[in-house]
Amino acid sequence: MRTIQAYRFALDLTSGQERNVLAHAGAARVAHNWALAKVKAVMDQRAAERSYGVQDDLLTPSLSWSLAGLRKAWNHAKGDVAPWWGEVSKEAFNTGLDALARGLKNWADSRNGKRAGKPVGFPRFKSRRRATPSVRFTTGAIRVEPDRKHVVLPRLGRLKLHESARKLARRLDNGTARIMSATVRRDGGRWHVSFTVEVERTERQPAHPSSVVGVDVGIKHLAVLSTGEMVDNPRHLLAAQQRMRVLGRALSRKTGPDRRTGRRASKRWEQAATRLGRAHARVANLRRDGLHKLTTRLAREHGTVVVEDLNVTGMLANRRLARHIADAGFAEIRRQLTYKTEWNGGRLLLADRWYPSSKTCSGCGAVKTKLALHEREYECEACGLVIDRDRNAARNLAALAAEFDTAGSGPVAGRGDDRKTRIRGQVSVKRQPGTASAGQTGTVLPQGRTTIRAFARAH
């Protein structure tokens, strides 16, 4: 199986190498801002000419928003705009122009209805102090040295890695991987290099191909499995909250930048901001490490994993739980399981967003009308079953896999239109184009004769 995979390594740069990387990132920012100003000037000029009644065929020629068009315009003007252009790699300017081309395409597609999700705003100019330094290389000498402790990038030369790149080097030596691009980026006060690699992965099989596990994510426990296992929520952000408060107060006492007056930040403010950024980066790294270990274990052990299609955006509207929900990373768990189950020969099933997994009895199938959030145990009035509500939900999710196998694979259903849609067995909910997610294998929908809107109100 051929797939695209990323390998990310921390770098140990010298002061000279860091200045060189910052120069390349600055060149990318200059090209981006120049091209954006050019695009805005042409758009404003054409709008003004239309207001004067000028015919469309006599308007100022439009500027192509594609990467090729922006690169052509930049090559004609780079001698005047950036006379120092020969001091950095051409890939630096290509990085800024490519980011602008993507931003303009996303904005245009969002306005025309071709892009689903939230509306995308028009691209903005990149600030020298607020933008994240980054540069991407797609051509030239990109390789890992034989000692696996150094990498070679165009114009940047030989850079030392903080850790060994043996995993990537083994694939490159065996001919099962090909480096497509390399991106150098500063994140959390530290420089990283990320390789986009085309990998030929061998066909794998889970340790228990016939095993089905339901995963119910939550705040008290990060994940409750239908097998009875409860994975504790480490709450990394809560553990680091006190230190972040101290660092934030220390930062507020320093002389920071002021865009209104043009005041630049003091050195101590920059040092305090770096310390706070490192604290946030540490929390993000700990969270990422824990989620990767959990999802990798689930994908390698079980042949079928069933999770819920949660409305995380709506859940974040609860101001009392928003911080804890964001710290848990519900959406990241689903994202990682999506590709890891495919890599390991398993499958991922998504329960419909309105399926009452917590309100349904896993013993007899009775559904409660209401179940308050503070009720941590499920008590069935029909059969008398008393069980932890999260474990009950996980069992219900695992039971849906049998219904999915009976009905066959189906599309991933979204929220649906405002029109009432009856559900008889397993069917597709009428939805707008673009709401189906690529890569998922299917969705199990709630059973019974009801409507999506009525089902949401009742449960």
Q: Which residues are catalytic?
A: 216, 308, 390
HSE value, Cβ hemisphere, 13 Å, CA-based, for 247: 16
Q: Tokens 């303009």 sit at which residue?
A: 104
At 139, give phi and psi (nearest 5°). -130, 170
What is the rounded distance in angstroms from the CA atom of residue 228 to the CA atom of residue 18?
50
Amino acid at 441: T
Vertex 19: Cα angle to 13 and 25 (nearest 5): 100
Strands of the sheet with 150-153, listed across from one edge: 134-137, 177-187, 190-200, 2-12, 157-161, 150-153, 143-144
Do strands 208-217 and 302-308 pair parallel, antiparallel, or not at all (unpaired)? parallel
Question: Tokens representing 440?
Answer: 């998922």
> Do the beta carbons of residue 154 and residue 194 sit within 8 Å?
no
What is the rounded end-to-end Cα distance, in angstroms, of the chain? 42
Q: Please list the residues that pair with 10 across neighbouring strands.
A: 192
Question: Tokens representing 95?
Answer: 């990085």
Q: Which positions ≥6 away from 386 have C-beta within 8 Å?
A: 377, 378, 379, 380
What is the rounded distance in angstroms from the CA atom of residue 356 to the CA atom of residue 168?
44
> Do the beta carbons of residue 224 and residue 242 sit within 8 Å?
no
What is the rounded distance in angstroms from the CA atom of residue 281 to the CA atom of residue 58?
53
